[in-house]
Amino acid sequence: MAQELEIKLSLEPGDLPRALDWLRARPEAAQGSRKSLVNRYYDTPGAELNHQKAALRVRQSGDQYIQTFKTRGEFVNGAHRREEWEWPLCGPSLSLELLADTPLGNGINLARLAPVFETNFTRQIVMLDDGEALIECAVDSGVIIVGDHQKPLHEVEFELKSGDSSRLLVWADRLARHCPVFLNLISKAEQGYFLAGVRMPAPAIIENAGDQISKHGDMHRLLHRLSHAWLEHGAVSLEGIDLLLLRRQAKACGLEQAFSDLAEYLAKGGALGGLLGKPELGQCQLGLLVRAQSNR
């Protein structure tokens, strides 16, 4: 069992090449592999894994197969932290025996597991080594597939391999200052479930995330609501969020006007889709998180 810590950014299709070019051009960067990945996700007919915010998949890359199980994890400074189990397989079939010693082995009838959706994409790796952390950047472009339905997938993931975890947020913020991004708290698996018509449990972010959430509760509420509005193609509720407090925090990182414009648009009921592709959205998200991280 390993622990995964990553920040995920969604981009508009036309901005993904810009992001890749910028990453490749960094003096800290080394280009890695390029792969086509086929990922098949499994669950029971009652979506029991989804209810636990866990994910189980078999990934094919060429003639290699990897089975992966991830737990629900938690949100930490803009990043997802999860426990993860991985096993090599001889072929594309799910191996139930490997799951016996994981949390999935308790309380779920493994024999009822079946494919639900696929996430299939091309992944270009860029490694960043800035002397403080080694970070794997995965630039993904492809689709999520449920039966005859598809959803486009364009993402950049920053995953910590070693070193200082705060560097994930630093690099995500640097990219946001170069091209439009959206800090997205919705995983590929959650997107697949949504496309399949399976609703996710409501996020209990304030009750379960400890002192850091209590200190920056308004910011975290806004980030989660933005992500769910992105998934559902809807408006963002600002009820219960202290916008004046967030505006002061945005001012401290040089983003007061950008945040004011963002808040005004959302307060008028503007759909999040109208902000995607605009640099101010990701810059405000990541700028607020960088400031919160520096004030811990």
CB 13 within 8 A of CB 101: no
129-138, 143-152, 196-205, 267-276, range with the lowest pLDDT: 196-205
Using CA atoms, how far apart are residues 117 and 144, in angstroms rounded to an integer?
A: 7
Cα separation, 285 vs 184, whole angstroms: 10
Are 9 and 156 members of one domain?
yes
* Mean pLDDT, rounded, for 12-16: 96
Considering the chain, what is the average pLDDT of its residues?
Answer: 90
Higher pLDDT, 273 or 52: 273
pLDDT digits 0-9 by tens, 181-224: 999 999 999 999 999 998 765 554 433 344 444 567 899 999 99
* Residue 208: per-residue pLDDT: 38
Q: Do 129 and 4 have their domain in common?
A: yes
Provide the CATH number for the domain around residue 158: 2.40.320.10
The predicted structure's pLDDT at residue 52: 83
Q: What is the C-alpha to C-alpha distance for residues 140 and 123, in angstroms, rounded to an integer?
A: 5
Lowest mean pLDDT among 128-142, 158-172, 199-213, 247-261: 199-213
Sign of CA dihedral 127, 131, 134, 140: negative
| For residue 151, pLDDT beyond 60 | yes
What is the enclosing helix (H) or strand (E) of 103? none
Q: Per-residue pLDDT tens for 71-113?
A: 876 776 667 777 889 999 999 999 999 988 888 877 788 889 9
pLDDT, position 209: 40
Residue 192: inside a domain? no
If one counts the domains in the chain, the total is 2
* Share of residues in the chain with pLDDT > 90 (%): 77
Please indicate, yes or no, whether residues 224 and 126 belong to a single structural domain of this protein. Answer: no
Distance CA 68, CA 59 (A): 8
Q: Last residue of a domain, which of 185, 211, 230?
A: 185
Q: Note whether 208 and 174 are same-domain residues.
A: no
42 domain residue, yes or no = yes
Based on the fold, state whether residues 250 and 169 are members of the same structural domain.
Answer: no
Report, as an integer, the average pLDDT of 43-64: 92
104 and 231 assigned to the same domain: no
Which pLDDT does position 82 carry in this prediction? 78
Looking at the predicted structure, is the pLDDT value of residue 3 above 80? no
Q: What is the pTM assigned to this prediction?
A: 0.90
More confident site: 8 or 293:
8
User: Residue 93 belongs to what domain range?
Assistant: 1-185
- Residues 27-40 have pLDDT tens digits of 999 999 999 999 99
Same domain, 101 and 165: yes
